[in-house]
Amino acid sequence: MLIGIGLGPGNPDLLTLAAVKALKDSRKVYVPGKMAAELVAPYAKADVLDFPMIQDEAELSKLWEANAGIVADEAGKGTVSFAVIGDPNFFSTFSHLRRTIEEKYPEIEITTIPGVSAITAQASRTNISIESSFIVSDGSPVDTKIILKTKNPQKAKEDLAKEGFNDLIYAERLFMENENVTRDIPQKGDYFSMLVAGRRKSKTQPKGKLYIVGIGPGAVEHLTGKAKNALIISEYIIGNGTYLDQIAEITKNSKIIRSGMGGEIERARKAVELGKDHVVSIISGGDANVYGMAGLVLEVAEKESDIDIEVIPGVTALSAAASLLGAPLVNDFSVISLSDLLTGIEVIERRLDKAAEADFAIAIYNPKSRSRRHNFEGAVEIIRKYRNDNTPVGIVKNATREGETVIATTLGRVMEYNDIIDMSTIVLIGNSESRLWDNRIITPRGYQRKYAY
């Protein structure tokens, strides 16, 4: 994680408590100059990165990318901070660094801690009370307007739209209890509110963005930083109700569109439709490319045009299950779903037969449902043609979620656990060299044969 920290206008007494804590807790702190380094010094040793004031855009681009690489490399290992004078989101070096990292290293989660800005510092120092509208400008075109204490947000929205400001975020009670940040502009505004309005960069640029997000196996801590960021900024989040419930704590400011099993086509169409003009996330459990929504959404989208789509990977149920069983899949393996809703059972059984004959470790998705009780029993019998009954088998139900169950058994005994196996279960079957140890499964990679350790 990368934290952009505002150090305030230059007086160490004006650092916030949150800034001080983040500086102390960061495994690494970077600053863009000596003044920032001096402010940081009582709390952390800072590395100064060079950001020279030059006009050569090509040279500047190289410097930004080099510095972004340094920071991103450390941020991938743990929490690091980049501290700047003032506020990190107002005309700051951090804004440029953030943009480069988001482009080059999208997996890095980024957040900021506000600082006392030069604007409020000058008001204090000069004893000027600002009680009406004012303009802050560096001479560049105005791309953002902020309206404070928005009594009638809908009227403000209409007025802003006439000026070309169509990208709106409403925020109230920031950093307080009952904080609300949303793109769903309310009828009535709170006293502690603001409306942030931006211009869309060009008429030819797509107005919306559609994220196809893998949310991981269930627990929010297994959600990637990039997936979390996409969900937070989405106006709409579309998905199966079970998966939406798993991420409810981070979707409270978005409009939720939910449906049950069998509603996949409807969800995909809705996501593509809304994604033309809004920021939208459609979610899949695990990874969207592993029996997930990515394929269907892209099939629907290929009939459309002018839509910006990004697929964000997630931790698969397969990976989560394997981690709970030790090392069952470190060599070649195959992944097969036993659901015959879209693939005929004859095709599924033929694939199972070939995978078992070739001595792949086998991961089975969707082993059994209420209406499909016998496919798993048939799959076990196919595999037993090629594996002995001592072959290790792992059964993982609700991996990383409430009700998690992990069982390490053998192919000869797996049907003893038939009653607990369902659609939320992953079954991992070892190859001919796999073995059980301490309720774990080890599938050798081959190091012992080569290196005789």
Q: Please write the tens of the pLDDT for every residue from 54-87.
A: 667 777 778 888 989 999 999 989 999 999 999 9
Q: Please write the tens of the pLDDT for every residue from 355-397.
A: 999 999 999 999 998 888 899 999 999 999 999 999 999 999 9
Mean pLDDT of 433-445: 96
In terms of pLDDT, which residue wins out, 179 or 138? 179
pLDDT at 324 over 50: yes
**pLDDT value for 122:** 83
Mean pLDDT of 79-103: 91
In terms of pLDDT, which residue wins out, 431 or 125? 431
Q: Please write the tens of the pLDDT for every residue from 246-297.
A: 999 888 878 899 988 788 999 999 999 999 889 999 999 999 999 999 999 9
| Confidence label for 203 from pLDDT (cuts 50, 70 and 90) | very low
**pLDDT value for 148:** 87
CB within 8 Å of 306: residues ≥ 6 apart: 206, 276
In three-state secondary structure terms, 124 is helix
185, burial (CB in 10 Å: exposed 0-12, middle 13-18, buried 19+): middle
**pLDDT value for 207:** 67
**pLDDT value for 85:** 94
pTM of the model: 0.61
In terms of pLDDT, which residue wins out, 373 or 418? 418
Overall CATH class of domain 141-199: alpha beta
Mean pLDDT of 120-126: 84
In three-state secondary structure terms, 92 is coil
- Kindly state the helix (H) or strand (E) to which residue 4 belongs, with its residue range: strand 2-6
Phi, psi values for residue 18, rounded to 5°: -65, -40
Please give the DSSP secondary-structure letter assigned to residue 180: E
Domain 318-442, classified CATH 3.20.20.70, yes or no: no
CB within 8 Å of 47: residues ≥ 6 apart: 28, 29, 30, 31
Which CATH code fits 2-118? 3.40.1010.10
> Do 2-118 and 209-315 agree at the fold level?
yes
| Confidence label for 343 from pLDDT (cuts 50, 70 and 90) | very high
| Confidence label for 205 from pLDDT (cuts 50, 70 and 90) | very low
| Confidence label for 154 from pLDDT (cuts 50, 70 and 90) | very high
**pLDDT value for 204:** 44
Q: What percent of the chain is predicted at pLDDT more than 90?
A: 59
Domain 209-315, classified CATH 3.40.1010.10, yes or no: yes
**pLDDT value for 451:** 81
CB within 8 Å of 20: residues ≥ 6 apart: 43
**pLDDT value for 345:** 96
**What amino acid occupies position 34?**
K
Domain map of the chain by residue range? 2-118, 141-199, 209-315, 318-442
**pLDDT value for 192:** 87
Say if residues 50 and 93 touch (Cβ distance below 8 Å): no
| Confidence label for 453 from pLDDT (cuts 50, 70 and 90) | low
- Tell me the average pLDDT of the chain: 90
